[in-house]
Every structure is written in C-alpha cells, then in structure tokens.
Amino acid sequence: MEETSLVPYLIYYFILSPIAKIFFVNIHYFTSQQKRNEYLIRKLVKWGNVTDYIHVAVALYFLGFREVTVRIESFGFLGWPFIVHWNTITFVFLSFATIIIGVIGHFSLFYLHRDAYYHKFFSLYFIFHLAIKLIVLSSDTVFFFMGWELLGFSSVLLIAFYEHRTNPLKNAMRVLFIYEAGDIFLFALIALLTFLHTDDMARLAVLQERSYAWAMVLLIIACFFKSGIFPWTWLPRAMEGPTPSSAAFYGSLSTHIPIFLLLRFWPSEWSLPAYWPEVWTISHPANAIAAAVGICAFSAFITTHMSRQHADAKNTIAYATMTQLAIIYIEIFFGLRTLALVHVVSHGIYRTFEFLRTPSLLHFYHTMETRLPQMTNTGKHFIRLLPEWLRTWLYALSFKEFGFFLRTFDFIDGFLGLKFLRFDGKTARRFAGIIAVTWVAFSIVMFILDRNLFNLESAAYASGDAVTAFIINWKYVNAKDEILFALAVGFNVLTFCNIRKVGMFFVTLTCSATTVGIEHTLLLLRHLDASNLLYGIAMTALAVAFAGLAFYSVYRFTTGSEGSASYTARLSRSPLANLLLFIAGLSIVGVPGLGIVLAWEYLLHYTSLVAPFMVIKGFFIVKLDTLLVFLFYFSNFLGFPEHKVQVLHHYKLDTLHLRWAQKHT
C-alpha cells in the first residue's frame, strides 16, 4: 500500500469518525423516548475503540516510524489544506492518545452507569477525541488551531459537568479565562506565520532571527498557559468534573498536548546547549529559553510542596502532575527530546491510572495499613536537605498557595463577577473599568509587537528564496481602526450588562463581533478610492447603534430586576433549547465546528497578510465575547433550580446498578 494514499485515508477516518459519533450521541439523546438507554452508547464506544486500535495497527505496519509528508489541498468541503508530517513523534502520540481515550471510554461506561448526564459526558468525550486527533495529525495552522480551541472548550464543559452545583461552574469560567488568554499568544504566532506566507507550523525553524525570537516567546507562553505552569496553576480548579474526565484531560492528554506541540514543532537548534558557546546579549533568543527553564524549575519547586500539604486526593495528584510537566519542559529546553518523549508518555499513562483509582484510594490505603506493619514515609529527602524552620515556612506558604495564585483567581472572579451570585451595577462598572485598562495596555503591547515583530523586510523560505514581506508601518495605525475597535470593546461591555436578557445579549454580542469583522474587511478594502467613505459610514452606523443600545441598557439596568441570582437555571426550558441557544452564541464568535467559522478563517487569513497586529487585536475582542457566551450560558441556564432536584438524587434511581457494573467488569 502506498504511503501517499494510506495517510489521507487515516486522516479522514480519525477526523470523520469522532464527528459521526458526536452527531449519533446527540441525535440518539434528543430523539429517544428512553433517556437512560445506554445500550447503543456502549456498543458505539466499544466497537469504536476496536476500529481505532485496528487503524493504529495498520499505521504501525505500513508506516511505522518513517517520515512522510502529505498535503491534502482541500480537506472535505472546507477548502483549507490539511498538512500531515508523519514521523516518530506523530505516531507515538497518536498511539498514546488512542489507547488512553479507549481506556477512559471503556471505564466511563461503568463508572457513569445510570448517571443523569451519561449522554452529555460521551458527547463531550467525542468532541475531545476529535480535538486530540486534529492536534496530533495536522501541522497546518487552521486545523491545528481548530483542534486547540475544541480541546479547551470540551475541557471547560467537562469541568462544569455537574451543572447543578455552583462551584464547578465558577471553576470552569476561571479555567476558560486562562485558556482564552493562552490562545491569544498561540494565535499571534499563527498570525506571524501567515504574515510570512506559510501555513505550516513545522516551518518555525526557517524564521528570521528577529521573528523567531518572538515566535519562541509566544510558543512558550501559549504552552505554559495550557499546561498550568506557574503562574497559571489552574489544574486543581479543574478537578470538579467526573473521574474519567480528570484522568483523560488533566492526567494524560490535555495538559500533555502542549509538550507534544513543542516536541513536534520546536526546532532542535532552539535549546540551551545549542546556544552555549555564543556570547549572550540582553536581546539574545537564548534568554527566553533560560527564563523558561527558571520558571519551570520554580514551578516544580512550589507545586511539589503544595501537593504534599493538600488533603484532597485529586488536588494532590494535580499538583504532582504540574511538577512533572515542569520537569519535562526543562528536558525539552535542554535538548533532551528523546528523554522528554519517553517521560511524557510514561507520565501520562501513570497519571491516568492514578486518577482512575482515586475513588478507591481510601480503601487501598486501609488495605495497605492492615497488611504492612507500618506505612512507608515519604519526603525524607526534604528532611535531609531543608532545615525545619524552612520546611515550616514553605508549608505555611503552600497552605496559602503562595499567595500569588489566590490573588490571580481573585482578579478573574472580580473581572467576570464570580465573587457574588448577583450581577449589579457595581459588577458592571468593575467589568467596564478592567476592560478599558486592559484594552489600553494590550494596544500598547501590540504597538511594540508591531514595531519589533512585523516590521520585517524579508522572510527566508525553506527553498532558499527571499520573498519580500509586507512592511507594516505607521500608516496602518490610524484613528479610524482604533475607533472601530473601541466600539467593539464598548459593545462587549454592553453584552456583559445585558447578560440577564436573552434578546439584548445576542444583539450586543452580534454588534461586537460584527464590528471586528467590519474592521478587518475595511482593512482589505483600503486600496479602494471609496475606503474613506466606507470607514465613515461604518463608524457612523456603529456609533449610532452603540449610543442607542447603551441608553436602552442603562435604562433597563436601572429599572429592571438585574439583581436576580445567578446559577439558578432561571432561563432554562429544555436541554435542546438550552443547547441551541448556546450554539447560537458560539456561532456568532466563530467557534470551530460551526458554520460561521469558515467566514472568520478566510477573513483572518487574508487580513493577516496585510495587518497581522490588527488581526490579533480583533481576536482579543472575540475572545472576550467568547468568555461572555460561556458566562451567559452558565449563569442563566445551569445551576440549582427546583425542577432539577431529581438530578441530585439520580444515583438512588436504581440500587442494582452496582451489581450490573460488577457483572460486566
């Protein structure tokens, strides 16, 4: 069998198979008369695992660890190229992800038996499956970023899995905030690659000296956000979901995927030993790697102490996971790529097993206590290395999470209004003030980034040809673009103020996203003689709309009952209606998997060739809109209403479910 024909087949199978399963699970749930019918789901998961294992075996037999590059010019009906760089790392992670997903799926069939959210879990489980396969197999910027986004969204929805409790919903919003902040850095890297006329993530090594230093920083920060490296230690807040999601997302795959990103796309010459003979200056690229090593070492030091003082089993494992992730990053930065690959796979397998056995951990330790004369002591190396006063001081700091983490999450709570269960005028004013300050600071950072990163004269391609790049200078930064962006931010603030009203929420959300789209479109039409007229019409129309909506919002906010409690499912009608409204909000902001994302992708792609820093600023506003969509859905449609009391007691519906699980294991 030819390699060039086998690879496209594997791509279509591993991408289309999860999509078909997602549709099947949801159609079965919303059309079935028996909501608790699990038979078809069990068959789908079991036979799906078998076919996945067969395809991995076929890939091993015919492709193995060879290096093959295949480019599918138009994947499906999307019209975007799908680039595959098949090599050892790709196959190892594909096998690793397939085995872990299969084990977690089989375990969940029994662990979540007769759970009220059984179908919801497997719907998110297959979305996660799709996201992992997109990230592992694709090297092009479009499909890779789609998988990256879907991975974050499915992770957040699984944190909020038990939707009748307030704490999981708030923790899901905190993690989403960190995810979206990290996505901005990865998107900035993709905008840089697009600006340099490449859609392949594997071509980072051909960037020029001025650009690859910034690319290095952007990639490191994006990976640190996703893995929970200091100072973004979000992992313990993600332990609200069921045990299978904790094992799959945070124990093995979700937090380890950024390491796969570095192993796959991080050039081997970007390591400390490669730069060691050189004389480092202040602006030397190796300083970024050295700083990353220092951050990882400090992160490993504090998380290992925090894991030792936590009484909760899942949080202890979460902090221990972050410790090992920091060590793996250090191995990559020192050029020990093979060691890092072995370490990440073995650590992922071990953490999966550790998370899966967490529910029976107390029984396990009681068994050990009865069989052993005394329990094995741990932490003796700390006793030998650190004096008692230092250990006591570190314990006190660890108990308070070193102070910094609590302040970080306090900021997120204040920004999104999570500290209180009600949205009032004070919450809205705080959100508007933080947005204004953040936008000014972000605009200044983007101006600096524009002058240092996108002000390039040429870009070297792998072929050796020098291609003249677009020079971004002061004439691209004008008041018209800034006014449109300011209006988009203003609409975003109005969206937050109208988070209690469905109609006004969608109107202001649409205006915010549309303003960003109009600004990007006008950038592409700037060469036309009528561009100034188009700018004037757009600014006038949007300013009038903003003034009218602002006046109406203030009037309704002062006269309406805006103090109603959040997270009480006050607007919930039916699961299907809630889902459709949620999908409608995600469609407006262009979430991957929905139709409007195609228009967003084309617009962002062509605008990145002209003004990439403007695209990043627009993406920042879209991420703010995405946060509000999730906040709107969580605070209005999920929570603890009276009509969902039966959900809290769904484990008592059938006392024979444990016997059934024991019989089938």
Kindly report which listed range (318-332, 482-496, 596-610) carries the lowest average pLDDT score: 596-610
pLDDT at residue 641 is higher than 70: no
Query: What are the pLDDT digits (tens) for 408-449?
Result: 777 888 888 887 666 777 788 888 888 999 898 888 877 777
* Residue 391: other Cβ atoms inside 10 A: 15
Q: Between 508 and 403, whose confidence is greater?
A: 508
Same domain, 116 and 221: no
Contact 19, 130 (CB under 8 A): yes
Give me the residue label for tokens 């195609």: 598
pLDDT score at 276: 64
Whole-Å CA distances, 535 to 520, 523, 602: 11, 10, 21
Under the banding of pLDDT at 50, 70 and 90, the label for residue 17 is very high
Give domain status of residue 663, yes or no: no
d(CA 154, CA 314): 20
Under the banding of pLDDT at 50, 70 and 90, the label for residue 34 is low
Give domain status of residue 269, yes or no: yes
pLDDT score at 539: 87
pLDDT score at 64: 81
Q: Phi/psi of residue 501, each to 5°?
A: -115, 120
pLDDT score at 464: 38
Q: Between 462 and 393, whose confidence is greater?
A: 393
Contact 489, 515 (CB under 8 A): no
Same domain, 227 and 118: no
Same domain, 151 and 284: no
**Mean pLDDT, residues 348-362 taken together:** 82
Under the banding of pLDDT at 50, 70 and 90, the label for residue 521 is confident
In percent, the amount of the chain with pLDDT more than 90 equals 20
pLDDT score at 661: 40
Kindly report which listed range (279-293, 316-330, 496-510, 537-551) carries the lowest average pLDDT score: 279-293
Under the banding of pLDDT at 50, 70 and 90, the label for residue 490 is very high
pLDDT at residue 520 is higher than 70: yes
**Mean pLDDT, residues 622-639 taken together:** 90
Query: What are the pLDDT digits (tens) for 279-332?
Result: 555 566 677 888 889 999 988 888 888 887 777 778 888 888 899 999 999 999
Tell me which residue of 250, 201, 282, 165 sits closest to 568, measured CA to CA.
Answer: 165
| Residues in Cβ contact with 299 at an 8 Å cutoff, skipping those fewer than 6 apart | 229, 230, 233, 322, 323, 326
| Residues in Cβ contact with 197 at an 8 Å cutoff, skipping those fewer than 6 apart | 459, 461, 467, 469, 609
d(CA 138, CA 410): 37
Same domain, 358 and 496: no
Same domain, 218 and 155: no
**Mean pLDDT, residues 115-120 taken together:** 84
Query: What are the pLDDT digits (tens) for 612-625?
Result: 888 888 899 999 99
Give domain status of residue 61, yes or no: yes
d(CA 430, CA 422): 14
d(CA 484, CA 69): 42
**Mean pLDDT, residues 72-99 taken together:** 85
Query: What are the pLDDT digits (tens) for 359-405?
Result: 777 677 767 667 766 666 666 666 667 777 777 777 777 776 676 66
Same domain, 609 and 482: yes
Give domain status of residue 629, yes or no: yes
pTM score of the predicted model: 0.88
pLDDT score at 421: 65
pLDDT score at 20: 92
pLDDT score at 213: 74
pLDDT score at 663: 43
Give domain status of residue 431, yes or no: no
pLDDT score at 340: 92
d(CA 450, CA 608): 12
Average pLDDT of the chain, as a whole number: 80
Under the banding of pLDDT at 50, 70 and 90, the label for residue 592 is low
Q: Between 651 and 421, whose confidence is greater?
A: 421
**Mean pLDDT, residues 206-227 taken together:** 79
Under the banding of pLDDT at 50, 70 and 90, the label for residue 454 is low
Q: Phi/psi of residue 547, each to 5°?
A: -65, -45
Give domain status of residue 496, yes or no: yes
pLDDT score at 284: 67
pLDDT at residue 467 is higher than 80: no
In percent, the amount of the chain with pLDDT more than 70 equals 80
Same domain, 92 and 224: no
Same domain, 214 and 338: yes
Give domain status of residue 456, yes or no: no
Kindly report which listed range (210-219, 259-268, 358-367, 611-620) carries the lowest average pLDDT score: 358-367
Same domain, 616 and 486: yes
Under the banding of pLDDT at 50, 70 and 90, the label for residue 95 is very high
Under the banding of pLDDT at 50, 70 and 90, the label for residue 643 is very low
pLDDT score at 301: 86
Same domain, 45 and 112: yes
How many domains does the chain divide into?
A: 3
pLDDT at residue 657 is higher than 50: no
pLDDT score at 636: 87
Please, which residues bridge with residue 449 across strands? none
pLDDT at residue 130 is higher than 90: yes
Please say which residue of 159, 187, 221 terminates a domain.
159
pLDDT at residue 591 is higher than 90: no
pLDDT score at 3: 67
Under the banding of pLDDT at 50, 70 and 90, the label for residue 210 is low
- The helix (run of H) or strand (run of E) holding residue 647 is helix 645-648
pLDDT score at 362: 67
Same domain, 213 and 136: no
Same domain, 151 and 213: no
Give domain status of residue 203, yes or no: no
Domain span at 296: 209-364+383-400
Under the banding of pLDDT at 50, 70 and 90, the label for residue 63 is confident
